Each structure stands twice: as C-alpha cells, then as structure tokens.
Amino acid sequence: MAGTDASRASPTEPGPAVVLVEPQLGENIGMVARAMLNCGLGDLRLVRPREPWPNDKALAASSGADSVVNAARVFETTADAIADLRHVYATTARPRDMTKRTLSPRRLASELRGQARSGGSSSSSGVLFGKESKGLHNDDIALADAVLTAPLNPAFSSLNLAMMVLLVGYEWFVAGAEMTSQAQTRRKETRPATKRELLGLFEHLESELDACGFLRNREKRPIMVRNLRNMLGRADLTEQEVRTLRGVISCLVTSRGGR
C-alpha cells in the first residue's frame, strides 16, 4: 500500500532503537527499515549481520527508507550495540527460563512514553530482535530489563522480523499521537485545574450539600465526601470546568431560593 508524501514532514521525536541481532538476509533488514520509517523510527543497529554490510538488497527492499538503511550502525556484540541505552527490551515468542517482566507492545509503548514524560527520552531505550530462524539467544535476553511478547493466536503466532518491528513501532507511534491529541485538546479548553481550585470546588459543593441535608448522616458523611472527591478527581478537570461547575452549584442554590 503506497502512502509516501515527500511534501509532509516526518516526526522529529527520536524513538527507541531497533537492534537486530544476527539478521540473516539483507532483504529482511530492508523491510525492517521500511517498517521503522512508517512509524517515525530511525535508529537501526545491526549485530553481526550474516551478509556483508552495506547491502544493496537491503536498500532495494526498504522501498524508499534509504535514510534508515544508510544510517544503520553495525556492532560486533549485543552489549556494544546497547551500551549507550538505559532501558532495553527483548522480543521473544516462547517462554524463557528467566524471571523478567513481560510486556505487550502496547504496554511497552506506554512505558516508553512514560519515560519521556518523566524527563527521559524514548531514544535512551532499545528493543532487541533475534535472527529470523531462532530468535534471540538467552544471553542476549539476559541483558534486557524486560521481555516483549505479542498477544496473538496461541495456535499460530508466526511473525516475520519486519512484522514484529512494525507492531512495536506502530504502538509507539500511536501512543505518541494520542498524547499529542490530548495535549492539543487540553490547550484549546484551558489549563488543568490546580489543587487549590479543586479543593475550592469540593468545599463549595460540600457546603451546599450540608445546607440541603444531603450529608446529614454524620457517621456516613466522611465516606460520602471522600467518594464525591474521588469521583470529581478522576474527571481531570480544567480550570474552566471547575468554574463552570461552581456556577452550576450557585445557580441551583439560587433557583431553589437558597443562599
């Protein structure tokens, strides 16, 4: 499916490195590069590729993802390839006799984006992919912080190298698009409410509920107040929304002949 538009800018946010350990065919490396560029990824690292590098077959199979292929770096060991990374994840399709966290591609994407929000960067992370025939060695997986497994049909979960890279890259890309959309929506509305503003809303509401008798049961009042605050807190209100709700409360009190 063609979808190249050279007039549009590619994402500039660096993403996780894709580390191919002992890839066997140049064509597969090229298809990985194509999958990567579709998801805005550009850091391709190769550990002991079987075929000589640079590789014309990889370039041809990349279908225009020349920038990823040409920038690929070759390393002698997996340890060398990940030496500058802070977080490393290893893909595997079968159980391993190791005690490690297991993530889905979607959970990994969320974790990577969370690292970026905490002041880190997705570019300080990398994902290991093994050779086409056997996957990763246990020694390579031992270097990872967690293992990555796609939840697919247990009776047939057969992915080629490029498909797995695309699956991981897609989840990472979509997670970023969703965060951007949420941020843009938030900016259009107003800023997030401060805790002081939320507390003002809580106290305003509780005062009027006391006045109308809703919170008259003194024993249950603390629990009811806590539930109300938790419910409103989950709404992630903006400053404008807090002011609107306080206006609604005031209007209802006035319409009923209250204060």
The Cβ of residue 227 has, within 10 Å, a number of other Cβ atoms equal to: 11
Dump pLDDT digits (tens) for 78-136: 999 999 998 999 998 776 667 788 999 999 999 988 876 655 555 689 999 999 888 89
Question: In whole angstroms, how far apart are CA 235 and each of 168, 202, 232, 248?
Answer: 30, 13, 5, 16
Q: How confident is the model at residue 6 (pLDDT cuts 50, 70, 90)?
A: low
Amino acid (1-letter code) at residue 237: L
The verdict on pTM exceeding 0.85 is: no
Residues with Cβ < 8 Å from 62, sequence gap 6 or more?
A: 30, 31, 33, 34, 37, 68, 69
Residues with Cβ < 8 Å from 103, sequence gap 6 or more?
A: 89, 111, 146, 147, 148, 149
Q: What is the pLDDT of residue 192?
A: 80
In 3-state terms, what secondary structure has residue 159?
A: coil
Give the pairing of strands 44-47 and 17-21.
parallel
CA angle at 114 for the pair 112 and 115, rounded to the nearest 5°: 65
From 3.40.50.300, 3.40.50.12780, 3.40.1280.10, 3.30.365.10, which CATH number describes the 17-187 domain? 3.40.1280.10
Q: Which of 144, 137, 48 is nearest to 94 (CA)?
A: 137
Q: Which residue has the higher pLDDT, 189 or 34?
A: 34
Amino acid (1-letter code) at residue 96: R
Q: What is the pLDDT of residue 119?
A: 55
Please check whether residue 204 is in contact with residue 259, taking contact to mean a CB–CB distance below 8 angstroms. no
Q: How confident is the model at residue 73 (pLDDT cuts 50, 70, 90)?
A: very high
Helix (H) or strand (E) holding 179: helix 161-189
Q: What is the pLDDT of residue 80?
A: 94
The whole-chain average pLDDT of the chain stands at 86
- Rounded to an integer, what distance in angstroms lies between the CA atom of residue 23 and that of residue 56? 15
Token digits of residue 175: 């997670």
Given 3-state DSSP classes, what are the helix, strand and coil percentages for the chain, each rounded to the nearest 5? Answer: 50, 10, 40
Q: What is the pLDDT of residue 122?
A: 58
